Amino acid sequence: MDQERTARLAARCVEAFQRRFDPGATFDGLTAARAPGRVNLIGEHTDYNDGFVFPMAIDREVVMVGRRRADDTVRLYSVDYDQESVFELSRVEPDLGARWSDYVWGVVQVLQEAGFRLGGFEAAIAGDVPRGAGLSSSAALEVSVLTLLDALFDLGLDLVQKARYGQRAENQFVGVACGIMDQFVSAAGKAGHGLFLDCRSLDYQHVPLHLEDARVLVIDTRKSRELADSAYNARRQECQEGAAFFARRIPEVRALRDVTPEAFAAYEAELPEPVRRRCRHVVTECQRVLDGVKALAAGDLEAFGRLMNASHASLRDDYEVSCRELDLVVEIASGVEGVYGARMTGAGFGGCAVALVHKECVEAVRQAVCRRYPGETGLTPEVYEFTAAEGAGIIDLAGA
């Protein structure tokens, strides 16, 4: 965990809390929680097919500082939006003037529906996960609220519950039919490690990232992801059609994750397009995750890079969730010496690409992207270097 950055965010929250809610509030009376964003290294659009993913939590996060109230009122203040949102536990509704609060009341609603007894609370929120970039700032907010409420009301939530309730809040109250990857890695990530997750059993393994001289670079296309939600739901539908097709022929198949490359090859000719290509992506991507985890665990960066490149091609051609901007940054990065591999990351249709790059070549990638990308797209890219961070937790304010 990058403790200084966390401490700065926590200090901003405490200061805001005092300004908005109670000038006399001290560290002793406040609880602070944090939860990180994520970048997915490999395993895209596999989570909702019961498949495998391999993301890492990043050193960018959402921090919340708060305390219980004696009544049933929830008062929130977002430092980043400089906005307050207030609701009653008995009447949880969207605050149309403060859409960021959807994630908080969504979580509150999900917890109440699940039978947890909450009370009122007040909290200040600040974060540094780039927003709208596909780095899971929303999952970070959901998991930070869950972590704070868990501490304030002794809910006894485990990692899996946090991930599931966060996902449910997003599904039911924000209206995005996302899988479990983002919330899971925000809750369960580990510093210096990737998280290998089986999205069916939710068994996971922290895999040490033997990156040696390599760095994880994330290139934000700055292309907004307007169409992402409807296309995302359409892909989920196509995958369901594909899974139903295979289930009719192979009784063990419950989801596309159960379709082996051999079974796919045996039946693919009977599948209609584009469902055939959607299935091919999921089947091959699940295998790439298994191969990629082995490669990274063995420190074989070249092999991992080749899998990243293959993943991008599959997302572009078979799954069709890339876009001109993502293809361009991947192409530019791939052309730079010292780049092991690059691919779009997250849902697609904009947002970010991730590249594995030799540390001496980070600057060359940055320059190559900044030289060519703006002229061809009219957009100004951002390039970030992230390290694998610890999943959500409570911050010791006195020690921060």
- Does position 45 interact with ligand GLA (CB under 6 A)? The reply is yes
- Does position 66 interact with ligand GLA (CB under 6 A)? The reply is no
- Does position 59 interact with ligand GLA (CB under 6 A)? The reply is no
> Which residue, 233 or 380, is less far from ligand GLA as judged by CB?
233
Which residue, 95, 376, 306, 325, is CA-closest to 219? 325
> Which residue, 36 or 66, is less far from ligand GLA as judged by CB?
36
> Which residue, 195 or 347, is less far from ligand GLA as judged by CB?
347
Out of 47, 182, 258, 318, pick the active-site residue.
Answer: 182
Please work out the total of residues on this chain that contact ligand GLA, with binding judged by CB under 6 A: 11
DSSP 130: P
Contact 283, 259 (CB under 8 A): yes
> Which residue, 61 or 122, is less far from ligand GLA as judged by CB?
61
Minimum CB distance to ligand GLA, residue 294 (Å)? 20
Q: Which stretch binds ligand GLA (CB under 6 A): 44-52, 158-166, 203-211, 302-310?
A: 44-52
- Looking at residue 355, its amino acid is A
Contact 228, 235 (CB under 8 A): no
Instruction: Using the structure block, give the residue that is written with the tokens 């290294």.
Output: 41
- Does position 347 interact with ligand GLA (CB under 6 A)? The reply is yes
Cα gap 325→146, rounded to integer Å: 35
Chosen residue from 42, 47, 384, 389 binding ligand GLA by CB under 6 A = 47
- Does position 204 interact with ligand GLA (CB under 6 A)? The reply is no
Contact 381, 219 (CB under 8 A): yes
Minimum CB distance to ligand GLA, residue 118 (Å)? 25
- Does position 197 interact with ligand GLA (CB under 6 A)? The reply is no
Contact 344, 358 (CB under 8 A): no
Q: Which stretch binds ligand GLA (CB under 6 A): 45-53, 94-102, 145-153, 386-394?
A: 45-53
Instruction: Using the structure block, give the residue that is written with the tokens 């909702």.
Output: 48
User: Cβ neighbours of residue 224 under 8 Å, at least 6 residues apart?
Assistant: 132, 350
**Active site annotation includes 182:** yes
- Does position 182 interact with ligand GLA (CB under 6 A)? The reply is yes
> Which residue, 76 or 181, is less far from ligand GLA as judged by CB?
181
Minimum CB distance to ligand GLA, residue 240 (Å)? 14
Which residue, 192, 215, 224, is CA-closest to 365? 215
Residues 161-180 that bind ligand GLA (CB under 6 A): 178-179
DSSP 173: I
Residue/partner pairs of 112-120 with CB below 8 Å, 24 or more apart: 114/165, 116/153, 116/155, 117/153, 118/89, 118/149, 118/153, 119/68, 119/69, 119/70, 119/71, 119/72, 119/89, 119/153, 120/68, 120/69, 120/70, 120/71, 120/72, 120/73, 120/74, 120/75, 120/89
> CA angle 179-3-69, nearest 5°?
70
Q: Which stretch binds ligand GLA (CB under 6 A): 39-47, 218-226, 335-343, 367-375?
A: 39-47
Minimum CB distance to ligand GLA, residue 15 (Å)? 32
**Residues with active-site annotation:** 182
Give residues in contact with ligand GLA (CB under 6 A). Answer: 40, 44-45, 47-48, 178-179, 181-182, 346-347
